[in-house]
Amino acid sequence: MDTIQGMRAFAAVAAHSSFTEAAKQIGISTKLTSKYVGQLEDHLNAQLFNRTTRSVTLTDTGRSYYERCLPLLEQFDELESLVQQRQTELAGRIRITAPTGFGSAELIHLLKPFQTEHPKVSIELHLSDHHVSMVEEGFDLAIRFGVLKESNLVARKLTDMRIVCCVSPEYLTQHGTPKEPAALATHNCLLQTTGSFSDHWAFKAKGREYTVPVSGNFRANSPRAVAHMAADGLGIGRIPLYTAQSFLDTGKLQLLFEEQEALSLGLYAAYPQNRHLTARIRALIDHLAAQFRGV
């Protein structure tokens, strides 16, 4: 049997939890995909998948094999590219996971010049406000805010993003302008539930950080939802600057307490530590870092 071919079929099925989707990805029939995976299991004398009529899931052995299989395939692809003298022309797929708000606006604008320069690189972008397992779901790169909790990831910091308080002029006309953060207790605050301490907002004054308890009649797990509600005059929100920026540019929102802002979130490009980085992934990370430096 062709072990590399079997590994490719296996990795595709593992990434999609489906023989049908895997077959579409690698461009062969579902029957042939199943055959290749079966031959690989016979060769290894191990069951890699639990199969039912409704699902395909990795066994413990399959998961361990998958984690080690991916970097080997990537190194094989890069070796072939080197031999064929195509290393100067980046090609291949990059699967990226990113937060919904940032990914659907800012990230796609950052990706456009990269894909224009490297048209043979195919990018698959998965947007979610929940952290996904990069290894189990087959992602090459994760764009994430804040402290990374996974010890099996390597991260490169791209930039720091301010967390800002913002409000519409209409709201201030109706309810008055809070002069100090402590005055937020008497205002309707729009809460983003995905961050830490969503109902206690941090500020700083005279070198000291402190928190202010806040409450309101709207909560959302999306900063963009908070931005829209704030722009519509419902209340005061605290969100990442990148989410608020378009509303600030049009005057639909304005900033509060700029001199007392206490928080910023690091933005990182992360990848599994046991993953060999192909030239295309390294180039994309370098591109993103350069974009944030203004290069």
**pLDDT at residue 295, as a whole number:** 47
**pLDDT at residue 54, as a whole number:** 85
**pLDDT at residue 258, as a whole number:** 92
**pLDDT at residue 92, as a whole number:** 86
Question: Chunked in runs of 10, what are the mean pLDDT values of the chain (295 residues)?
Answer: 86 92 87 92 93 90 91 79 61 90 87 93 89 79 80 85 94 95 95 78 89 94 91 95 91 95 87 78 93 73
CA pair distance 41, 44, nearest whole angstrom: 5
**pLDDT at residue 205, as a whole number:** 87
- pLDDT one-digit tens code per residue, 157-192: 999 889 999 999 999 999 999 999 999 999 999 998
